[in-house]
Amino acid sequence: MLAASLSPSVSSPAGAAAPFDSDAPPIIPVDMHPPVDLAEDLEHFLAQLHAYLKQEDIDQIEAAYHFSANAHRGQFRSSGDPYISHPLAVAETLAHWRLDPQALTAALLHDVMEDTNITKAQIAQDFGKVTAELVDGVSKLDRLEHQSYEEAQAENFRKMLLAMAQDVRVILIKLADRLHNMRTLDAVRPDKRRRVSRETLEIYAPIANRLGLNTLYRELQELSFRNTNPLRYRVLAKAVRSARGNRREGVGKVLEAVVARLPACQIKAEVMGREKHLYSIYRKMRDKRLSFSQVLDIYGFRIIVADVPSCYLALGALHGLFKPLPGKFKDYIAIPKVNGYQSLHTTLIGPYGMPVELQIRTREMHHVAESGVASHWLYKDEDTLNELQRTTHQWLQSLIDLQTATPDSAEFLEHVKVDLFPGEVYVFTPAGKILSLRRGATAVDFAYAVHTDIGNRCIACKINHEHMPLRTELRNGDRVEIVTAPNAAPNPNWLGFVKSGKARAQIRHFLKTRQNGESAALGEHLLSQALHNLGHRLEELGSSAWHRFLRTFSGKTQKEVLTDIGLGKRLPAIVARRLLDGRASGGSVAQSAGAIRIAGSQGMAMQLARCCRPIPGDPIVGIIKAGQGLIVHTHDCPNLRIGKAGRGPGGGKEWIDVEWDAAAAGPFEVLIMVVAQNAPGVLGRLASAIAEHEVNITDVRMDNDSGATTSLYFTLQVGGRMHLARILKSVRRLPAVTRISRLKEDHTQRN
């Protein structure tokens, strides 16, 4: 792990020690790939196991080592070392976490399925089914020829994450595997070094953090930073070494004062120096646009005490010693981080005005902070699982729900990446339960965090007992209550502000499912119309015609083909001819299959054009637009005139006969312009005259034409053309109104 750049731990009763060790090793030692002594490494590994495993388990693990060594015989790493040195190093990391014999066995075998002829069945026969499942979970999928590297990686991550959801040991093995690969990355070519480092920074380091493996998380970040930005890494490392000398006196005085103060307050403690990691310094400089000299909290101290009351006693004692920096105190003991981390954080103003961060925790908290979900791994019964292991289990189960809602691997990986960053906002349910959400989360994210059905049916929210918009960002301590309705549904606009991967995935899943259902119904109508024009009926087609079509042409299901037609991705006339497959046409058909009836303004497969805003009573036409489905325009829409020339929404698209359904129900949006005298109270009188007809005004804009008149543009929701006519007649009667008209073209919107 990372070498500490401050001196080893100092017991508080003892005298103060020098805070820095001038002979400290580099922050990350460069692996020069010395010759590997496998016998010595194996002996050291087995010695680690004697501290906590039975002899029969150790014998099985040693047998797995020899099995793997034989399987990898003749294979070498890029560094020139025998390949077996890598599985052994991975197993050593897991032994440091004290994982069970099955995980250690799987670590030694984790590459045999991928790189040799050994099968999963053979591993199961020799080492058990559970070990075989672990090895399979870590192994990559077979590379498909038609996949790009990105697609293959997304599929492999998906497999690994879902295997992790079944057994968290899969990801622990993979993290140990990635750690050793990163430590020996100098041996590979530079482009691969950068790619692997970016992947580690985006995926593996956040997973380690999410599982509470803080030491591993920091080392993966440092190694990734060193390989993606080598020059910046070297410059920062040099600056930190220089700062050790410049700030030695100030930090030394703080250490002496802390070491003397705690015993005087009857608090037994261990004080350890701590240096901020290079990647943390770099990220702070980048995010806050600071120079290195402006990053003052490079050094700090970690104080380990006996129990929780001693944490708060130590905090009070140290706040009496140096002044705390306002706004920098965080109590992660009362409210732990989502990855189980617990500690008190405070920043004190030390000598010369230099801020020094202190972390105060118990020995148990320190163990969990370093080892995370791997802490106490051997205790398997539910009664002895710590809180982190329970919350981790819940998170892993949420991956299965995310997989169900997101069949596409790349999209699934995108959502997982979003949720890998630990929550920073803590809010309360009406029952007083605390939920942890990522910073910037909204009321909609909260609703989906409670339950998917709550998110899908939410219509409003109360934050701290006040009605607030659903897009409101939540803050620490907010009490959130969600209002739901049985027939409510997610709004596509929510995707513009939700932050959590679960909310985004569930909204997309709901909308896509609804769109596909509506598009399939529209596609069926369009195909029926095309078959009518060829003298046939859709009902006449047997299953054999569809089977022949799907086998030789599209390879999709019947519903998917109908959905594609409804979305404009396939032309119904071509599909109709393919389905008939040379059968004689019925000749010219006198009657049409009928126009498509437009029953309302809502729908995912049908949209009313924003450029002309058709309403019931207007003559209308429709076009099929690829990826959007049916777009309905008024027959005199200016955009359609452009389209007929090949430049607008109708250019090159299929024209569809549409008509209003007799029972068409609104509301339908319409834009009107009112030119009125510029006088006090005119806007109020206009709004009142419109509201008398039970109309919702969704938008108002004004243009000051001159000193005498003003043009007002109202967007109204009406029931149809007759309803609009009554509104216009009522408004026209007002003395202040000089002109009123409906606008069918809004140049700010185009379809």
φ and ψ of 313, to 5 deg: -65, -40
H helix runs in 606-720, sequence order: 638-644, 682-691
**Which single residue is written with the structure tokens 């890494």?**
233
CA angle, 566 as apex, 565 and 572 as ends, to 5°? 35
- What lies within 8 Å, CB to CB, of 373 at 6+ separation is 168, 172, 211, 212, 213, 340, 388, 389, 392
Helices 308-321, 248-264: crossing angle, 10 deg rounding: 120
Instruction: Return the structure tokens found at 54.
Output: 């039975």
What separation in angstroms does the CA of 108 have from each of 66, 101, 183, 409, 555? Answer: 9, 11, 18, 29, 42
- Compute how many other C-beta atoms are within 10 angstroms of the C-beta atom of residue 490: 23
In angstroms, rounded to a whole number, what is the distance separating the alpha carbons of residues 335 and 428? 12
- Compute how many other C-beta atoms are within 10 angstroms of the C-beta atom of residue 268: 14
599: part of which helix (H) or strand (E)?
A: strand 596-600
φ and ψ of 459, to 5 deg: -125, -20
Q: 456 and 482 in contact (C-beta within 8 Å)?
A: no
In angstroms, rounded to a whole number, what is the distance separating the alpha carbons of residues 109 and 72? 10
In angstroms, rounded to a whole number, what is the distance separating the alpha carbons of residues 22 and 17? 13
- Compute how many other C-beta atoms are within 10 angstroms of the C-beta atom of residue 233: 21
| 115 included as an active-site residue | yes
**Which single residue is written with the structure tokens 């010759």?**
35
Secondary structure (DSSP) of 520-549: HHHHHHHHHHHHHHTT--GGG--HHHHHHH
CA 723 from centroid of its chain's CA atoms: 46
In angstroms, rounded to a whole number, what is the distance separating the alpha carbons of residues 436 and 395? 12
Which one is catalytic: 62, 100, 114, 401?
114
Which one is catalytic: 115, 581, 657, 694?
115
Question: How buried is residue 541: exposed, middle or buried, by Cβ count under 10 Å (0-12/13-18/19+)?
Answer: middle
**Which single residue is written with the structure tokens 């040693």?**
62
| 560 included as an active-site residue | no
β strands within 363-511, DSSP E:
425-428, 434-437, 458-463, 466-468, 480-484
- Compute how many other C-beta atoms are within 10 angstroms of the C-beta atom of residue 567: 24
Instruction: Return the structure tokens found at 727.
Output: 């509104």
Q: 169 and 110 in contact (C-beta within 8 Å)?
A: no
In angstroms, rounded to a whole number, what is the distance separating the alpha carbons of residues 41 and 721? 85
The dihedral of CA 43, 47, 48, 54: what is its sign?
positive
SS3 348: strand
Secondary structure (DSSP) of 630-654: EEEEETT-HHHHHHHTTSSTTTTSE
- What lies within 8 Å, CB to CB, of 320 at 6+ separation is none
Give the catalytic positions in this structure. Answer: 114-115
